[in-house]
A and B are shown apart, each in its own frame.
Chain A
Amino acid sequence: MRNVLVAAAREVRAGLRNRWVLATTLLLAALALTLSFLGSAPTGTVGVGALDVVVVSLSSLTIFLVPLIALLISHDAIVGEMERGTMLLLLSYPVARWQVLLGKFLGHLAILAFATVLGYGAAAAALFATGAAAPAESWAAFAAMVGSSVLLGAVFVALGYLVSALARDRGTAAGVSIGLWLLLVLIYDMALLGLLVLDQGRIIGGGALDALLLLNPTDVYRLFNLTGFANVSLFSGMAGLSASATLSPPLLLAALAAWVLVPLAAAAAAFSRREL
């Protein structure tokens, strides 16, 4: 365990030194602040419910941005270190490969969590400062959004490691990561929508749709945040869907956790079999 923490600490330190942490935090904070003030406009008034709107807009932002950031910092983790030659030396030390991987994961996750909490927290603080009082339930929805955003980041960090452990070179890893992002963030939903329109409910029933949604971590995240809290789902236009939702928030969280653990375990397995 100590080795894992040592490796994680190195990753965090390198992230701080590379300005990765700074850049990510600033980017998330700037976008979150912009969205939370522009995002209140459609409701007409700034006031009650403003935080719920922020949750909706920020979770949409998260779906695009957090996976991208996570893949950016993770796709290079294994194949990059191998190409630069730093992995060879590291593995000659009394440290197991899974410890190296887990350490990197914790380090990268810490960077992401820091950036998300601080960036989105800035938006919440700004709203609070402008006097927008919100009920406790809205704050709960906001906290759940921030937490699940970090979890979504963890999913894509794990997926990035899997790509990195399997790819032959850094270029391939980067290409596959971009493809993965496009697929899970954009193409999957469009294809699913097209499929549903074509199908007209003949073959794909509720159960099959749930399964298809669970197969994409960004959809799981979306469902969790947009239907999980009644006050939020009202603004998200998903009130109808949430009423008929059969996927409970704990189940959705478990699905996200599985989306972290399975790719991470697969990455560890691929990494341990890899010849140096």
Chain B
Amino acid sequence: MTAETVRLSGVTKRYGKAEAVRDVSFALPAGQCAALVGHNGAGKTTLIKLMLGLIRPSAGGIRVLGEDPAAGAFAARRRLGYLPENVSFDAALTGRETLAFYARLKREPVAKVAALLDRVGLGAAAARRVGTYSKGMRQRLGLAQALLGEPRVLLLDEPTTGLDPEVRQSFYGIIEELRGRGATVLLSSHALTELEDRAERVVIMNRGVLVADGSLGELRRLARLPVRLRVTSGNGTFAGAPPDWLGPVEGWRRLDDGRAAEIACAGEAKMAVLRRLAEAGPGRVSDLDVVPPTLDELYAHFLRSQEAPAP
């Protein structure tokens, strides 16, 4: 088993003069859940289409499960699951027929279809025409077809749009299970807060260029974004400026009429500030929350740093 399932090296894709993706390189190992983040038009969908071999790169190379996906060999595609953004199906066929059709194309036993439909919660609706399905149900059918054939690589484009929270939980449950069995999962999404606890790896795209790639922890260190500490005053007031006992901090903001405050400090200074807060005693500080920079903030930071000229 190769440790690496997907590798992009120096991939560029041009449509006419417009560059959809420019010089993107990254590799995904087996058993990793990675998030592909970027706003609309950042090149996420283009990257996924390139990995599927639906379009050919203008420059650079792509290997998926050891094959060039656009070469026309289909061995890798049988072990690949794809859920497109806004998935749609032939409205005239039933859920079961639709899934059976895709199973046949993947050379999977059609008998597995019923179990798969049950797994995504469509068992009761299997005999209904897809045209009568709600958006969430179509999305679940889309997920079911992506799961056909025990995929080694799952490419999911905006997978949770239109799913209600309960289905969303079961969806991430299924993803986690596949990942545990060694599948590579690449999620592209806008819902960053949702990806935060799921993705071990984040790839940030902006205007076709890869701007950041790493685990959330690595990105936090790279971004050097301040950590925020939310403290509640023990005696009921944090009046005016930061108190002297706190020492130097990057930011200080009064909250809740002075009953609480938000302190911003650099990641390296965090422990020193925490120690001082602890030593300040219950009279001064009665409660404390540490808020690390969110994925949203990291994303915004990396976009800003790319817009600004390199230092």
The residues of A with any CB-CB pair to B shorter than 8 Å are 2-3, 6, 10, 13-14, 17-18, 84-86, 88-96, 275-276
Q: Are A14 and B78 interface neighbours, CB within 8 A?
A: no
Residue of A nearest to B82 (CB): A92
Binds A, one of B84-92, B117-125, B210-218, B220-228: B84-92
Residues A85 and B86 in contact in the complex (CB < 8 Å), given A93-B77, A94-B106: yes
Q: Are B86 and A276 interface neighbours, CB within 8 A?
A: no
Residue of A nearest to B45 (CB): A88
B 172-214 to A, binary, CB cutoff 8 A, 1 in contact else 0: 0000000000000000000000000000000000000000000
Q: Are B92 and A18 interface neighbours, CB within 8 A?
A: yes
A2 to B129, CA, bound (A): 25
Residues A14 and B92 in contact in the complex (CB < 8 Å), given A89-B84, A94-B105, A275-B15: yes
Q: Are B97 and A13 interface neighbours, CB within 8 A?
A: yes
Residue of A nearest to B80 (CB): A92
Residue of A3, A85, A88 with most chain B CB atoms under a 10 A cut-off: A88
Q: Are A6 and B105 interface neighbours, CB within 8 A?
A: yes
Q: Are A93 and B54 interface neighbours, CB within 8 A?
A: no
Residue of B15, B87, B101, B129 with most chain A CB atoms under a 10 A cut-off: B101
Of the candidates B55, B90, B142, which one forms a contact with A276 in the assembled complex, judged by CB atoms under 8 Å apart?
Answer: B55
B 50-93 to A, binary, CB cutoff 8 A, 1 in contact else 0: 00101100000000000000001011011010101011111011
The residues of B with any CB-CB pair to A shorter than 8 Å are 15, 49, 52, 54-55, 72, 74-75, 77-78, 80, 82, 84, 86-90, 92-93, 97, 101-102, 104-107, 129, 142, 145
Of the candidates A17, A84, A92, which one forms a contact with B52 in the assembled complex, judged by CB atoms under 8 Å apart?
Answer: A92
Chain A residues contacting B49 (CB-CB under 8 Å) are 88, 276
A2 to B104, CA, bound (A): 9
* A141 → B minimal CB distance (Å): 38
A198 to B102, CA, bound (A): 58
Chain B residues contacting A93 (CB-CB under 8 Å) are 77, 102, 105-106
Smallest CB-CB A-B distances: 5 pairs = A94-B74, A94-B77, A17-B92, A85-B88, A92-B82
A21 to B77, CA, bound (A): 34
A95 to B49, CA, bound (A): 15
Residue of A nearest to B129 (CB): A17
* A240 → B minimal CB distance (Å): 50
* A139 → B minimal CB distance (Å): 37
* B9 → A minimal CB distance (Å): 22
Q: Are A95 and B90 interface neighbours, CB within 8 A?
A: no
A31 to B24, CA, bound (A): 61
Chain B residues contacting A18 (CB-CB under 8 Å) are 92
* B116 → A minimal CB distance (Å): 16
23 contacts between A and B (CB under 8 A): A10-B90, A13-B93, A13-B97, A14-B93, A17-B93, A85-B84, A85-B86, A88-B84, A89-B82, A89-B88, A91-B54, A92-B80, A92-B82, A93-B77, A93-B105, A94-B74, A94-B78, A94-B105, A94-B107, A95-B105, A96-B74, A275-B55, A276-B55
List 15 additional A-B contacts (Cβ < 8 Å) besides A14-B92, A17-B92, A275-B55. A2-B104, A3-B105, A10-B93, A14-B93, A85-B87, A88-B84, A89-B82, A89-B84, A89-B89, A93-B77, A93-B105, A94-B75, A94-B106, A96-B72, A276-B55
Chain B residues contacting A92 (CB-CB under 8 Å) are 52, 54, 77, 80, 82, 84
Chain A residues contacting B15 (CB-CB under 8 Å) are 275
Chain A residues contacting B92 (CB-CB under 8 Å) are 14, 17-18
Residue of B nearest to A16 (CB): B92
* B236 → A minimal CB distance (Å): 58
Residue of A nearest to B73 (CB): A94
Chain B residues contacting A2 (CB-CB under 8 Å) are 104
Chain A residues contacting B54 (CB-CB under 8 Å) are 88, 91-92, 276
Chain B residues contacting A86 (CB-CB under 8 Å) are 88-90
* B132 → A minimal CB distance (Å): 13
A89 to B145, CA, bound (A): 10
* A120 → B minimal CB distance (Å): 26
Chain A residues contacting B107 (CB-CB under 8 Å) are 94
A93 to B75, CA, bound (A): 10
Residue of B nearest to A14 (CB): B92
Residue of B nearest to A11 (CB): B90
* B184 → A minimal CB distance (Å): 16
A17 to B92, CA, bound (A): 6
Residue of A nearest to B72 (CB): A96
